[in-house]
Structure 1
Amino acid sequence: MKPRFAGRLGLADAVTVTNAAIGFLAVAAATVDVELAARLVLFGAIADALDGIIARKRGSTPAGDHLDSLADVATFGVAPATIVAITLESAGMGATDPAFLAGIGVGACYVAMAVTRLGLYAAYDLDSDETKGVQTTLAATIIAATVLAGYTDPVVLVPETALLAALMVSQVTYPDLHAQDAIVMGVVQAVAIVNTGYWGRVFAFALLFLAGTYLVLGPWFYWRDGLQLGG
């Protein structure tokens, strides 16, 4: 007996579903090595861009947009929040420590705002070349790049995560990235993923700079009519 998805899902959907699995692997990896988890989140961001490219080249299915949002919840919502939660424990905070509880609360809020953001995106922004609020992919990329750049202190990660959670449901309008800019960021991501030590830190800083620049300046200075990268 064939599974129900046989003949109904395409190549882009397969990449999307794989991205959901990457999200789980990132959550599991965070309990052992937060830097490995951060690399998996960045790998998921590349997969997220890839499934959009495949969908445009080879067509999409009715399930594609729904699968994409579900996968994004895992990889760009739950996984980054888990990384932040693990850094709280690694910093020696106890379960009853007010700072620990506050950090966990911020992580839970981040997941809730990511889900809200993805739902709003699917309902209102899917066919537009711009979207309100920071993309979950961008938010997760910033958190992952921060970790790989060596900033694993909750004093840095928790406020950053809180800010990104708020920006995901803000009224700030972000234009979609152009193809050439998405490729540049993807290459920097890939190099940051595969390199450790000095060069790993260098490219993590570069990625953090690129993502942070778009986060701050994109709504006002980035030119429109670009390549859509998703929620």
Structure 2
Amino acid sequence: MSLRVADRLGLADVMTLANAAVGMVAMAAAALGEVRLVAQLILLAAVADGLDGIIARTRGGTAVGPYLDSMADIVSFGTAPGLFVFVAANDVWGPLGSEPPLFAAAAGVAALFVVFSLVRTALYTVYVGEDENRPGIQNTLASSILAAAYLAGLTLVPGLLAATVVLSVLMVAPVPYPKLAARDALAMGVVQMGAIVAPTALRRVFPRVLLIAALAYLTLAPRFYWEE
């Protein structure tokens, strides 16, 4: 039996694979200790993730698309952000290898984020329908908040670790979140690209606007946001 890759993958799937590839590059950058670059690449992966959803809704998806999307999310919005948190802590507190308590704190929080992202992705894939509101915040949103906060200048390690713990728990919280409308996803993508390309321009305006918008969705969307 042939896999028939060219026949069974669509344009949205190609964008999903691009998301995963960017996540892998982010992990490579983390291995080199390039903290800001990792944050930028996480946001770039989030842009690709948003685009694959828009493409799937406008041009149609494939049967394999949801599975590819879930696996790509684990790379870009599970493992890569976990490494980002650890490397950001190591950049300030390091080298963490010589400080066992600090190493345990940073590695433990990073692992917690990966585990909760994995649990959320698996449960969402199996139990949540395409047209249903999604329980818990998206791991894409959680990752984008962490990356945007760092690029916005909020680099204090205890605050970063505390935010990571809170966002990890919120990923599996029993609060329904509506899907972001295409027009809003596009607007967020424009701001994200600004944060990626020029994170320090105009007193870090792009990552700060992105962070404010993401936090507004986080706190207000369950009650006040809806798609037309």
Same fold (TM over 0.5): yes
Q: CA deviation at 1:155?
A: 1.2
1:79-107 Cα offsets, whole Å, 9 max, x none, are 11111100121113433431331121111
The match for 2:77 is 76
**Does structure 2 retain, via aligned residues, the 8 Å contact 1:129–1:225?**
no
**How many percent of aligned residue pairs carry the same amino acid?**
46
Look up the equivalent residue of 1:79 and give its one-letter code. A
Q: CA deviation at 1:56?
A: 2.0
60-69 vs 199-208, greater mean Cα deviation: 199-208
Look up the equivalent residue of 1:165 and give its one-letter code. S
Q: Secondary structure at the match of 1:176?
A: coil
The match for 1:184 is 187
Q: CA deviation at 1:200?
A: 6.5
The match for 1:57 is 58
1:145 aligns with 2:148: yes
Where structure 2 has 5 or more consecutive residues not aligned to the other structure, the ranges are: none
**Does structure 2 retain, via aligned residues, the 8 Å contact 1:45–1:141?**
yes
Query: RMSD across aligned C-alpha pairs, in angstroms?
Result: 1.7
Cα distance in 2 for residues equivalent to 1:132 and 1:90? 34
**Does structure 1 retain, via aligned residues, the 8 Å contact 2:199–2:207?**
no
1:98 aligns with 2:101: yes
Cα distance in 1 for residues equivalent to 2:3 and 2:198? 39
Name whichever structure is richer in helix by fraction.
2
49-58 vs 92-101, greater mean Cα deviation: 92-101
176-185 vs 37-46, greater mean Cα deviation: 176-185
1:65-123 Cα offsets, whole Å, 9 max, x none, are 00000001010111111111001211134334313311211110110110111111112
Within the candidate set 110, 115, 118, 2:113 is matched to 110
Where structure 1 has 5 or more consecutive residues not aligned to the other structure, the ranges are: 227-231
**Does structure 1 retain, via aligned residues, the 8 Å contact 2:135–2:177?**
yes
Look up the equivalent residue of 2:82 and give its one-letter code. A
Cα distance in 1 for residues equivalent to 2:159 and 2:122? 28
179-188 vs 192-201, greater mean Cα deviation: 192-201
Q: CA deviation at 1:16?
A: 0.7
The match for 1:131 is 134
**Does structure 2 retain, via aligned residues, the 8 Å contact 1:172–1:219?**
yes
Q: Do the aligned partners of residues 132 and 3 (structure 1) sit closer, same or farther apart at CA in structure 2, a change above 3 Å counting?
A: closer
Cα distance in 2 for residues equivalent to 1:175 and 1:54? 18
Q: CA deviation at 1:58?
A: 2.2
Within the candidate set 192, 216, 222, 1:213 is matched to 216
**Does structure 2 retain, via aligned residues, the 8 Å contact 1:193–1:200?**
no
The match for 1:66 is 67
Q: Secondary structure at the match of 1:7?
A: helix
Cα distance in 2 for residues equivalent to 1:180 and 1:10? 22
Look up the equivalent residue of 1:37 and give its one-letter code. V
Look up the equivalent residue of 1:14 and give its one-letter code. V
Cα distance in 1 for residues equivalent to 2:72 and 2:165? 22
Q: CA deviation at 1:32?
A: 3.4
Cα distance in 1 for residues equivalent to 2:168 and 2:93? 25
**Does structure 1 retain, via aligned residues, the 8 Å contact 2:152–2:199?**
no
Cα distance in 2 for residues equivalent to 1:75 and 1:202? 24
Q: CA deviation at 1:183?
A: 2.0
TM-score normalised per structure 2: 0.92
Cα distance in 2 for residues equivalent to 1:64 and 1:200? 39
Look up the equivalent residue of 1:67 and give its one-letter code. L
1:160 aligns with 2:138: no
